[in-house]
Structure 1
Amino acid sequence: MTSRIQKAQEAYNNQDTNSSRLIHDEEDRKEQHKEEAGEVVKSIVFGGLDGIMTTFAIVAAAAGAGLTRGVILIIGFANLLGDAFGMAFGDYVSERAEEDHLLKQSKLLEKKIDTEPEIEKARLKDVYISKGFEDADAARIVELLFPYKSTVMSIMMMEEHGSAPDEEGSSGAIKSAVVTFASFMVCGGIPLLAFVFAGNYREASGFDPIFIISIALFGITLFLLGCVKGYISNKNWLLSGLIMTLNGTITTLAAFFIGYGIELKAK
């Protein structure tokens, strides 16, 4: 942000209107690209966490109940696929709702710029004053930028709403849903790999080597996802990974013993 302000100040001092506009457009594009990349990573991490936690809880309960490996795979993949579609659809609806809101605000802002230019100039001037510009300098920058409506709209949308409407339209929401679905399926399917390659699908499961391998796959994946979650949340990544692993351990033990208890009752 400091670099942006310095560049804008230099453009203002040189009375270079075109450079000032390009600086703002370039910085806004960079911010939007960073935000899009961050959203993709978040979709991968949170989709993966939901996928692996919910799927392995089913696997642990089924193993505790002594179900066969084949049945565990059927239940596990059925749950995985159903939940993945549900998560993806929910992500799509959420993204579309947010995009519709931004589009509505953008149209409202455009209308205000056309009908109430002086009010919007004052608001934009306040933005630059809050960033450290003197009153006269901020007013001059606004006058330089205001003829370029798209630039002004981009600046004000980023300042007031943190984002501008996605130029891709609904494809952005679709991309987010696809990323969530893929992450959910991949991460959620990792603990099932032990049962897939175990063979002897008619054999009853329990706290056996196959289930222990599944636990190890679950723990490693969960720890890594927790570390990434901590990193993107600006928290201690190692602590986040350990907490997430502890959370998964408690969930797994609870699910396993619930299944084990139900199996004992059924005998």
Structure 2
Amino acid sequence: MQHPEHHRSARTGWLRAAVLGANDGVVSIAGLVVGVAASGASATVILASGVAGTVAGAFSMAAGEYVSVQSQADTERADLAQERKALAEQPAEELAELAGIYQARGLDAALAMEVARQLTAHDALAAHARDELGFHEAGRPRPLQAAWASALAFMAGAALPIVSAVVAPHAQVVAVTTVATLVGLSLTGATAARLGGAPVWRGAMRVVFWGAAAMLASGLIGRMFDIAA
């Protein structure tokens, strides 16, 4: 009988990028909207600032994720090339190294060597990549996937404060945007925690705290530039 198990580790690449993008979109644009609104700017200026910030932020998140994950992929490729060279030039030493890894994990010396021989015969590079270097298919760097997930999530998150600013009466933009943002952050934080298998309340509270801090700081700075005066 098959025993299917649903592990969460395969989600780590896109989930991390999406969570960071969504939270950054909500917090960054909410802070921008609150700061601009607190300065006394008109509704048109608030909307223009939010939309411009969304476009710039989405590109920034995508570029940052792509460069970061691509750098990781480049490092892994370099390590694999080094391992491939070692396997070609020093096969006996690499076999002994692999056997030593299995022995350190609890196998006796004879069994560890037999396992190492069989895995080496099957796919030596894959065995070393997995057991020596710690590379796994589920965690393989995917730069484009991370970039798209981050950019789209940023725009989705940014939509909340922008829509709040549009539908709220001008005099209440700061209050409405703040409340909507904190509610949205609690939902995104709880969702991310649930997908990752972490406590839901903890995931919600930590993003709400930092979102509130960001909007408070932005609002105070906006009031320093009271353009309506």
Q: TM-score, normalised by structure 2?
A: 0.86
Q: 2:217 aligns with which of 254, 263, 267?
A: 254
**DSSP 3-state at the match of 1:263:** coil
Higher relative contact order (CA 8 A, sep 6+): 2
Task: Give the equivalent residue in structure 2 for 1:22.
Answer: none
* CA positional deviation for 1:183: 0.5
2:158 equivalent to 1:158:
no
Task: Give the equivalent residue in structure 2 for 1:218.
Answer: 181
Query: What is the root-mean-square deviation in Å for CA atoms of aligned residues?
Result: 2.7
Task: Give the equivalent residue in structure 1 for 2:50.
Answer: 76
In the alignment of these two chains, the number of paired residues is 224
The whole-number CA distance in structure 2 between the counterparts of 1:176 and 1:78 is: 22
Identity among equivalent positions (%) equals 22
The whole-number CA distance in structure 1 between the counterparts of 2:195 and 2:73 is: 23
Task: Give the equivalent residue in structure 2 for 1:14.
Answer: none
Find the structure with the greater CA-based Rg: 1
> Cα distance 1:183–1:120, how it changes in 2: closer, same or farther (>3 A)?
same
**DSSP 3-state at the match of 2:40:** coil
**DSSP 3-state at the match of 1:161:** coil
**DSSP 3-state at the match of 1:146:** helix
2:95 equivalent to 1:121:
yes
> Cα distance 1:145–1:54, how it changes in 2: closer, same or farther (>3 A)?
same
* CA positional deviation for 1:195: 2.8
The whole-number CA distance in structure 2 between the counterparts of 1:154 and 1:225 is: 37
2:85 equivalent to 1:88:
no
CA deviation vs aligned residue, 1:56-84 (integer Å, no higher than 9, x gap): 11111111112122211100110111021
Contact 2:38-2:174 at 8 Å conserved across structures: no
**DSSP 3-state at the match of 1:94:** helix
Q: Which runs of 5+ in 2 are unaligned?
A: none
* CA positional deviation for 1:131: 2.3
The whole-number CA distance in structure 1 between the counterparts of 2:17 and 2:44 is: 31
Task: Give the equivalent residue in structure 1 for 2:77.
Answer: 103
* CA positional deviation for 1:155: 2.8
2:155 equivalent to 1:181:
no
Task: Give the equivalent residue in structure 1 for 2:22.
Answer: 48
Contact 2:165-2:176 at 8 Å conserved across structures: no
Q: 2:39 aligns with which of 58, 65, 76?
A: 65
**Equivalent position amino acid for 1:214 in 2:** T
